[in-house]
Amino acid sequence: MAMSRSPVVASRRHEGVLGTCLFALLRVVLVVCSLPMSAMADDCTRVRISDVGWTDVSATTALAVEVLRDLGYEGHVELLSLPVTFVGLGNGDIDVFLGNWMPAQTDAIKPYMEGGQVVDLGVNLEGALFTFAVPTYVWEAGVKSAADLAARKAEFKGRIHGIAPGSAANRMVLDLIQQGTYGLEGWKLLESSEQGMLGEVRRAVASGEWIVFFGWAPHPMNSQIAMKYLGDPLEKWGVGGGASVVHTVANKGFVERCPNLVKLFQNMKLTTEIEGELMGRILDDKLSPEQAAREWLRAHADQAAAWTLGVRPAREVAASATAETSLVPAHTLPLGDWLERVIQFITAHFTEELRGISQAVTWFLESSVHLLLRVPPLVLIGATALLTYARRRGIALAVSIAAGGFLIWDLGYWQPTVETLVLVLMATALSLLLGIPLGIAAARFPRFYAVLRLLLDLMQTIPTFVYLIPTLMLFGLGVVPGLLSTVVFVLPAPIRLTYLGITSVPREMIEAGEAFGARPLQLLMKIELPYARTAIMEGVTQALMLSLSMVVIAALVGAGGLGSRVVRALNAVDIRQGFEAGLVIVILAILLDRMFKLPARQHPLS
């Protein structure tokens, strides 16, 4: 009996040993998985540096990365917004940041400095300047101080051109507008990006228009654009009316565990001349920050030696080119250069025509927004609910529209919602005006559709951000680039669904129409379009939803609306505003979908 049970006992013992081993292995795996966090925290060979995307900060960061590489360390750059950078520094996800502009960023970094999570490693750049700027001819016309802006609001169209949403400078201007400082109450801040703002400044200067924007030094704009900085009598931009210094800040844990590298970052002192030279290579010569930094260090070995004085290298590093350069072919096809030349040719020869189109479209959209805003929100909400009930005979839908509209109004997002709604409806209308005829033509001519399908596939797979670049260069900052980019992104949906609806018409119905002597146009109007109505209306709702999905991206070129609130909340790590703006977009999407979707039917022609 003992012998007969021994296999079972042995099996159970084997299972117990196996379970114990598996449990031990699981513990080892968990420990190993947790090692990267602690091990990486104790390892100084990899330094995580934040880059907020400003050219001066990108240049400084690239210099630091190249110096680290020459010492045998790895500099890992994270492209982050400014508030996210400070959050990362506070919790240890980021080690170093070399773009702490003071005093502009005082409020943003103050909690982390007071909490002890972030340590100031000293000033890396002195003599910087950051404040309002205008073209020289505007300054000569009498606008020499921020206090002079309000009296010339009409000439400036009540607009201030800023940089990325959520940046410290933009937040300062929004505070000035909200508080009515310098009489700026009622002005509008156009948020985009550094290069988007400068492109608009160059267009304004070329045509002699008045414009006020953010200017700062060091930056090549100071030599490329005839501009003057405005006085700041109330010193809202800091003591000295915009005089700034740039600090290097680091995570406290990094400072404690990597004193050798802390010495490097403390040694890195730059001048406005160095920054200006690097930024010129990046912006004018189209070099990457890494290439510009590498070439500068080769030409200024003495400066690199001064920075690394007393800093121990991680390992011996060969003086040859880095490995990644071998991955770049010696000769590349200059597709991007060709496209850039085409865009530059168009802008150089058709500037007035393009600006006229942009101004006309902008006027129409802004007039539509102002017209809707004149109607009391509750009246417009009630009228929309009543019209929807009259059309759909659905009390639940009408109530949901009224409730959703009331919630949007109550949250304080009525104006940006109206701006977004006008943009979405305009983009949808344009895409349908182009898409439905093209879909019909594609159904009529198979060879045309074979070519068109390739183009549609390309339009749907290219990242949507790419559309913004040429439209921004052609039409300037504002709602027009966002509108056109949205139309390009949305257009494939109505084309494909119209094509699908027309080609799905039964052949018997076409033959019956032809037997009664119907002409091609009559066949289209009496048979094909009615049958394809469901698919076409599906294209309408798809166009609405796709247009709404572009509002955040369009905000990057100054389109405004709900998208700017989302981008601003993302860059500022503002949970409340991000949630509310996102919720409003969801509500608007649901309401538009329910309002325009066809009710279920047994058959399109029944």
Look up the CATH number of the domain holding residue 78: 3.40.190.10
Q: Is the pLDDT of residue 5 over 70?
A: no
Q: Which residue has the higher pLDDT, 521 or 558?
A: 521
Pair (95, 36) in one structural domain: no
Residue 431, in any domain of the structure: yes
Residue 344, in any domain of the structure: no
Give me the DSSP letters along 181-213: GGG-TT-EEE---HHHHHHHHHHHHHHT----E
Pair (441, 532) in one structural domain: yes
* SS3 per-residue string spanning 292-304: HHHHHHHHCHHHH
Residue 315, in any domain of the structure: no
User: What number of residues does the chain have?
Assistant: 606
Question: What would the mean pLDDT of 580-599 be, rounded to a whole number?
Answer: 85
Grouping H, G, I as helix, E, B as strand and the rest as coil, residue 560 is coil
Res. 600 pLDDT band, cuts 50 70 90: low
**Residue closest to 191 by CA, chosen among 599, 447, 570:** 570
pTM of the model: 0.67
Question: What would the mean pLDDT of 76-100 be, rounded to a whole number?
Answer: 89
Residue 102, in any domain of the structure: yes
Residue 541, in any domain of the structure: yes
DSSP 599: P
Q: What is the mean pLDDT of the chain?
A: 83
Question: What would the mean pLDDT of 260-289 be, rounded to a whole number?
Answer: 89
What tokens were used for 7?
């296999």
What tokens were used for 493?
């949906």
Res. 29 pLDDT band, cuts 50 70 90: very low
Neighbours of 252 (CB within 10 A): 16
Pair (436, 504) in one structural domain: yes
Neighbours of 606 (CB within 10 A): 5
Q: Is the pLDDT of residue 34 over 90?
A: no
Residues 194, 557: Cα–Cα separation, whole Å: 11
Q: Is the pLDDT of residue 18 over 90?
A: no
User: Counting Cβ atoms within 10 Å, is residue 324 exposed (0-12), middle (13-18) or buried (19+)?
Assistant: exposed
Residues 49, 62: Cα–Cα separation, whole Å: 10
For strands 74-79 and 243-251, give the pairing: unpaired
Q: Which residue has the higher pLDDT, 95 or 25?
A: 95
State pLDDT tens for residues 161-192: 988 777 778 888 988 999 999 999 989 898 88
Q: What is the pLDDT of residue 331?
A: 67
Pair (469, 582) in one structural domain: yes
**Residue 500 structural domain:** 351-374+412-596
Pair (266, 297) in one structural domain: yes
Pair (557, 532) in one structural domain: yes
Pair (172, 253) in one structural domain: no
State pLDDT tens for residues 305-334: 999 988 998 864 434 334 444 555 666 777
How many structural domains compose the chain?
Answer: 4
Pair (136, 224) in one structural domain: yes
Pair (436, 568) in one structural domain: yes
Res. 256 pLDDT band, cuts 50 70 90: very high
For strands 74-79 and 46-51, give the pairing: parallel
Q: Which residue has the higher pLDDT, 306 or 19?
A: 306
Q: In CATH, what number is assigned to the domain containing residue 213?
A: 3.40.190.100
Residues 141, 222: Cα–Cα separation, whole Å: 20
Residue 21, in any domain of the structure: yes
Contact 428, 528 (CB under 8 A): no
Question: Cα-atom radius of gyration of the chain, to the nearest Å?
Answer: 30
Question: What would the mean pLDDT of 119-126 be, rounded to a whole number?
Answer: 93
Grouping H, G, I as helix, E, B as strand and the rest as coil, residue 44 is coil
State pLDDT tens for residues 234-250: 888 877 778 889 999 99
State pLDDT tens for residues 444-468: 998 999 999 999 988 888 887 777 7
Res. 20 pLDDT band, cuts 50 70 90: very low
Residue 341, in any domain of the structure: no
Neighbours of 310 (CB within 10 A): 8
Pair (482, 585) in one structural domain: yes
Residues 149, 243: Cα–Cα separation, whole Å: 20
**Residue closest to 175 by CA, chosen among 226, 265, 229, 104:** 104
What tokens were used for 598?
């066809």
Pair (152, 275) in one structural domain: no
Q: What is the pLDDT of residue 280?
A: 87
Residue 390, in any domain of the structure: no
Residues 340, 347: Cα–Cα separation, whole Å: 11
Question: What would the mean pLDDT of 51-71 be, rounded to a whole number?
Answer: 90
Q: What is the pLDDT of residue 269?
A: 93
Residues 366, 360: Cα–Cα separation, whole Å: 10
Pair (83, 30) in one structural domain: no
For strands 118-135 and 213-217, give the pairing: antiparallel
Q: What is the pLDDT of residue 295?
A: 92
